[in-house]
Amino acid sequence: MQNKAVGFEEMGVVHQCCNGIQFCLEPAFAPGDMWSADEIAELCYLHYRTRLPKQGKPDPNREWTSLAAVVKVESATQKEVLASPGNLQVMKEVVAMGTGTKCIGQSKMRKTGDILNDSHAEIVAKRSFQRYLLHQMWLAASHQQCSIFIPGTETGKWKLKPSIVFVFFCSHTPCGDASIIPISEPENQLSKLVTGDDAAGQSAECRSNRDHLGPEDKRKSEKMASNHIIKRMKTGDDGYFSVITEDLAFQQVSAKREEDTNPKNCECSGEMQTANKKTGLGRPKVVDVYRTGAKCVPGELGDARVPGLGYHCVGLLRVKPGRGDRTCSMSCSDKLARWNVLGCQGALLMHFLQYPLYLSAIIVGKCPYSQEAMQRAIIERCQHISFLPDGFLTQKVKLLQSDLRFEHSRQAIQEARTNSKTKLVPCSAAISWSAVPEQPLDVTSDGFRQGTTKKGIGSHQSRSKICKVELFHTFQKLVTNISQEDLPDTLRMKTLETYWDYKEAALNYQEAWKVLRSQALLGWVKNAKEYLHFT
């Protein structure tokens, strides 16, 4: 009988690593089936409920948030398999977690590296994961066997234990390209009435951007959003049909508009085109797309913004929207595509790693989801890359969806408060959690520790443990604790001072990033050097 991934308390089987952090043991599945999407989601949701504090979580009467996490999956070693073939165990452990939906605008960015520019859950989880990796690297350098790393073949280099993989979980489809998902018309329910709840599964991040609209657009959006019951399809012969769009609204859209879309300006996904070709009766099966609030990067192709299928162009780089102030943060879809080629460790940790650290799977919770959109956004945009340095490769990461919904997602909160007239808003706080022994938790708002006053900005107490300067200082402590002869070539006998210096000195990582930008992610918005010259 297969055991579902359950929590530490419910398992009754709790073990401790040498740093005091708990993990649970479970009976293994058959080879190649060590876990399911639902089990990973369940483990993450349990961790959120039991290990994260109430502080920083949304008020379920009026707020929602997004959740992301990194799960370590460790299988039995070959030696253990031979020693006990009938009693194998698999360890699943949440090692990093993040919540959040916000992003600061360009005008709030700081040159001291002490603010979180991007507090979307996926990014908070990834930075929390880097904090975990820095601690694990310190354990390895201290010759403690419980580290996830083992010595590599080069001096000062380490590699991940072959029995360990990392799975990334996010409660909602990543913002940006992966969120441009077709809305299908049920073939046998052309006149079905759709309530606001039925439509509540749209891209959460695009709805949270209503506050970023101009006054006129906001009025239109709120007027349309007040239409709680709408028809999916008109039955007349006037060539018009109703579609669900952003903010539970609807528009009257001419089916002929699709023919007028300029192919040079916009490309519909193959999923939409194929679905429509298969539909009979002269009516489209796919009637619209879910909108993403992420904006196309400056200077590149833009969205056609025509109603219906042609509203968005797919495959484009996008930046996250700000509150009237444009951000420099790329969409989560774009960042995941980058991590799928360069790894999740970043430039600093690459100094110590023989190979990049890749995700083996990305799992999305129950929400609007398209396998084709995820494949396109995260893998296909970069799969043609050539001439990458040794060790770097576009990964064929597994893309899966769970049937389990996050309890504090926008859709879940919306359904639970059907009679409430209070406006539903995204939670302003972000929570970071890392599997480290000291101060694993961090709650932030507007890029600083929650509770920071204007006077307190710039103080050590105002910083998140996962902001650039804090992670940099943790990295520097690691470097200084290692003797010169044991350091990797890129750090040995080098005069490096600033964050920028250390990042640039990771030569193979920087070369891979240069190749990726030039061949696939040409319009990527990079932070100006002045924001990286801190110590």
- Annotated catalytic residues are 122
- Euclidean distance between CA atoms 463 and 444, whole angstroms: 9
- Euclidean distance between CA atoms 226 and 209, whole angstroms: 17
Contacts of 352 (CB under 8 A, 6+ apart): 137, 156, 157, 158, 478, 488
Q: Buried b / exposed e across 447-461, counting CB within 10 Å, b at 16+?
A: bbbbebeeeebeeee
Query: Nearest 10 degrees: CA dihedral of 365, 370, 373, 376?
Result: 80
Question: Which phi-psi region, left, alpha or beta, contains residue 144 (left: φ > 0; alpha: ψ -120 to 50)?
Answer: beta
Contacts of 518 (CB under 8 A, 6+ apart): none
Element spanning 43, H or E: helix 37-51
Total Cβ atoms within 10 A of residue 82: 9
Beta strands at 425-426 and 448-449: parallel, antiparallel or unpaired: unpaired
Contacts of 446 (CB under 8 A, 6+ apart): 102, 104, 108, 428
Distances from the Cα of 303 to the Cαs of 248, 292, 309, 465, 519, in angstroms? 21, 11, 11, 37, 22
